[in-house]
Amino acid sequence: MPRTNPRPLLAFPLFLCLFPLAARGGGFLIYEHGAAATGMADARSALADDPSTLYYNPAGITELPGLQLSLGATGIVPVIHYQAAGASDSPRRYVGYRDGRYVELPVNDGENSTDAKLRGFTPIHLYASFRPKDLPLAFGISLNNPFGLGTYWPGDWDGRFITTETEIQTFFLQPVVAVDLARILSWDRHIKLSFAAGYQGVYGTARLAKRLDLRVGEALSLGEVQDGEGEMRLLGDALGHGFLLAVRAEFPRLFAFGLTLRSSVRMPFSGEARFSFNPAGERTLELARLVFPESTTGRVTIVLPWNLNLGVAFLGLPKFTLAADVYLAFFESYDSLAVTFDCVQQGRCSETLNGDPIRKDWGKSVQLSLGAEYRATDALAVRAGFGLVSSPVPEGTYDPALPDGMRTLLSLGGGWRGERFGADIAYMLAFWKGDKQNEVGSGDLLNPEGRANGTYTTLSHILALTLSARF
């Protein structure tokens, strides 16, 4: 059997090490930014009775008198299980060396079920709004984490050559100005109507890790080297900018309507990638006469999507509020992923490290939410909600860095609001599953990697707490 030149086959898997990054800005978009909203499965775009309206509909801050503050956090614990598809009747094969000859060996594309490591995440929400008494204006500022979370898999699992660790955080600082149009037009006796515009300043961080398949060392060493592997770890960050627009209308004691549009945000991530290898991996690099730097900087640009949320609320029942929301995230702009490692331009590593862009072809994500609030007294409220969320990820690019699927949301919550201070708490259960039966993780004839095909099931426990004050 001819000895295939291994150099591009060794280098190309390294190009894939940033592959999971964009996935963190997709199906892991966080929509829980206040305990009152979480208790209603996020159906809050038409309501304007607490400072979380700064996220769901900033135009609503014209309905919040004086100075109002709130702060809180959402604890999120995803429990992820991988049910392997099992050995294939006609498995892929790679070239090894056994008993003095080259042989073709079966590839493990999904045979060992496992659970992801249990990790918790705590996105925050901070809001401040101020409405001057004698002006038809209101001002607000918010800080929260609309994109984030991550996955952590065991280092020896079936999909370790696709991902072992993926985590992203984004911090959105959003100052806004809202105008009370109804008051300016002298319509405020019959309708509440307001408009808001704001700026989005975004800081993001990314942490990524995966194993590198170097089983080609077995063939190169005539069986002397077995199970060669490497590891890539990357830490990066980025700054981005965008804008938001919002409008809200309310016919008192009848119904309300709200709409918020947020622009896309271009995030040019850059950071340091570090490479390490086990002894068999080091020997494989020597046999292939390849030298990779211990570390290099890398760059990839991710575009966070345009997103739109709109809602209606029925206000005609005493003590009851019924609300419905639609949230859309337009991921069509994420059609490919192109990564650049600076060591290529500096001549310190293989030119094939910067490969061709990877096609992704994502679509829209849609969330439908229904929520209800019952006020037992002026101070005490009980809430419940139900929601469905679609995945933007097509079947052909589904991967374990983003084990997504059609989500179902169930929530309960309650709140107390006194003359000056208040507190809200909520619990949400979110669950979904997705089947991976594609070629992601295919590798090649000498470094086959592993597809980790199977069923991915996720159960997320979400607990939110918000404290508020009015002055």
Task: Identify whether the C-beta of residue 290 lies closer than 8 Å to the C-beta of residue 7.
Answer: yes
CA distances from 365 to 74, 350, 362 (A): 22, 38, 9
Judge: domain 7-470, CATH 1.10.10.10: no
Name the residue with tokens 């089947």: 435
Ramachandran assignment for 52, one of left (phi > 0), alpha (psi -120 to 50 degrees), beta (any other): alpha
- The beta strand positions in 43-191, using DSSP E, are 66-84, 93-98, 101-106, 114-115, 124-131, 137-144, 150-152, 165-180
Q: Which helix (H) or strand (E) holds 301?
A: strand 295-304
Strand-strand pairing, 421-436 and 320-330: unpaired
Computed from CA positions of residues 391, 146, 465, 377, in that sequence, does the dihedral angle turn out positive or negative?
A: negative
pLDDT in tens, 390-429: 988 889 989 898 788 899 999 999 999 999 999 999 999 9
**How far is it, in rounded angstroms, from Cα 123 to Cα 461?**
14
Structure tokens at 439: 């070629």
The DSSP output letter for 396 is G
The Cα–Cα gap between 18 and 273 comes to 9
- pTM for the model: 0.90
Q: Which two tokens stand for residue 323?
A: 């609300």
pLDDT in tens, 176-196: 999 999 999 999 888 999 999
CA separation for the pair 101, 222 (Å, rounded):
8
Instruction: Yes or no: say if 45 and 31 are a contact pair by the CB < 8 Å rule.
Output: no
Under 8 Å CB-to-CB from 286, ≥6 apart: which residues? none
CA distance 389 to 391: 7
Question: Taking every pair of C-alpha atoms in the chain, what is the biggest distance, in angstroms?
Answer: 91
Dist CA 53 CA 48 (whole Å) = 6
**Best CA proximity match to 246, nearest among 381, 99, 54:** 54
Rg over alpha carbons for the chain, rounded to the nearest Å, is 26
Low-confidence ranges of the chain (pLDDT < 70): 1-28, 350-356
In the prediction, which pLDDT does 320 show? 95
What gap in Å lies between CA 330 and CA 25, rounded to an integer? 12
Closest to 45 (Cα-Cα) out of 34, 55, 30, 32? 55
Instruction: Tell me how far apart the alpha carbons of residues 180 and 59 are, in angstroms, rounded to a whole number.
Output: 8
Amino acid at residue number 48: A
pLDDT at 4: 41
**Where along the chain do its domains lie?**
7-470
C-alpha distances in Å from residue 306, one per residue of 59, 90, 332: 19, 43, 9
Contact 371, 43 (CB under 8 A): yes
